[in-house]
Amino acid sequence: MNESIIFGAGAIGRGFLGQLFSESGYRVTFADVDQPLLDALNGRGSYTIRLVTNEDTNEVSIGPVRALHSGDADAVAAALAACTIGATAVGAGNLKTIAPVVAKGVELRARAGVTEPFNLILCENLKNAAAIFGDMVKSALPAEDHEYMAGHIGFVDAVIARMVPPLTPELRAQDPSLVIVEPYKELPVDRAGFAGEPPAIVGMIPYAPFSFFTERKLYIHNAGHAVLGYLGHLRGYEYGYQALTDEDIYFQTRGAMEESARTLHRKYRPPAGALLTNIEDLAPSLRQPRPGRHHPAPGPRPPTQAGAHRPPGWRSAELPGGRVNPVNQVTGIAAGLLFDHPTTQAQRSCRR
């Protein structure tokens, strides 16, 4: 069986990447520091994903899997050396802690003369994560192995759109390895980042130029969630799926996403209807309740939703080749400036 490794056995690692690798015929090795979770994964050799929609619930068993403690650098490096594909989902701030272990695994491959490429998909909320992490690994790697890394190791940017809410304490006590997710499982990745040809992974879409997918995620997915959250909060709704029953909010949210879609279509010229299909695919995730989510609607941080200190509508209006009248985005911006959730400290900065 083909081998894969995932750094981070949390919501995205187990709830998304593990499923895709497993369904593609790979045994999955997780590297993490959560010992109760590691024990649960090793005890069963598998774990359960619960796929939830408003209409139905299905459970899928993911396996075979095993788990290693991230602190056991030798074991993790040896596991990586035997893999052809891997991913990180550790949080951008933790990349520096795993870079030496990845470098050790690359060194083992170089010493063994492994010619088959190894590609690592960076699933982090960090712009240019692949290039940044590649430099970290190179810095930790002996100089004589730099040429091997350049020719045999790929660092690949990705966009994550699957929603994975945190488990309630009660559910975690019953099964710490359980993950509750939406069925959506598309993984766009940067084709240019691969060493060799991209492998066949369920749900994975290698694409170039990859900026199309990063902007699609930012200006359609993130902006849509933000507009829904801001408008829903103003009308007193607690959750996004509740706000979408309000037709005014539904059409303004949908309109904001379509404004972005028109602008992106003019910039990238994707196949006809592709962006509207993406909006249709995202609609169920906006409408479904999310166990364990207790903040209002899906988007409470205006400065960080778009990666800049402005609400997302401004960013959409600035896209090259725009000339789209962003009526619904402007409504979302106004609602964002009125957003006053007490836990959102960054809101004061946005208003200034």
Contacts with 83 (C-beta within 8 Å, 6 or more apart), sequence order: 3, 4, 5, 29, 118
pLDDT of residue 74: 98
Position with higher pLDDT, 191 vs 289: 191
Express each pLDDT in 63-73 by its tens digit.
Answer: 999 999 999 99
In this structure, of 14-28, 176-190, 207-221, 301-315, the range with the lowest mean pLDDT score is 301-315
Contacts with 38 (C-beta within 8 Å, 6 or more apart), sequence order: 9, 30, 32, 67, 68, 69
Say whether 155 sits in a helix, a strand or coil.
strand
Express each pLDDT in 240-253 by its tens digit.
Answer: 888 989 999 999 99
How many Å is the Cα radius of gyration of the chain? 21
Strands (E), the chain: 2-7, 26-32, 47-52, 57-62, 65-69, 85-88, 118-122, 153-157, 179-181, 187-190, 204-207
In this structure, of 13-27, 116-130, 155-169, 275-289, the range with the lowest mean pLDDT score is 275-289
Is residue 155 classed exposed, middle or buried when 0-12, 13-18 and 19+ CB atoms within 10 A define those classes?
Answer: buried
| φ, ψ for residue 5, nearest 5 deg | -135, 140
In this structure, of 26-35, 158-167, 202-211, 254-263, the range with the lowest mean pLDDT score is 158-167
pTM above 0.75, yes or no: yes
- Of 305, 293, 294, which Cα lies nearest the Cα of 339? 305
How far is the C-alpha of 164 from the C-alpha of 167, rounded, in Å?
9
Tokens of 120: 């690592």
Does 307 have pLDDT greater than 50?
Answer: no
Residue with tokens 């992490």: 133
Does 292 have pLDDT greater than 80?
Answer: no
196 in Cβ contact with 117 (< 8 Å): yes
How far is the C-alpha of 331 from the C-alpha of 193, rounded, in Å?
38
- Of 156, 259, 162, which Cα lies nearest the Cα of 210? 156
Q: 283: pLDDT confidence band, cut at 50, 70 and 90?
A: confident
Cα→Cα distances 81→23, 69, 181, 198, 316, Å: 22, 16, 30, 18, 42
Does 298 have pLDDT greater than 80?
Answer: no
Torsion of CA 181, 182, 188, 194, to 10 degrees: 30
Average of per-residue pLDDT across 325-345: 83
The mean predicted confidence, pLDDT, of the chain is 87
In this structure, what DSSP letter does residue 240 have? Answer: H
Could you give the angle at the alpha carbon of 46 between the alpha carbons of 42 and 51, nearest 5°? 140
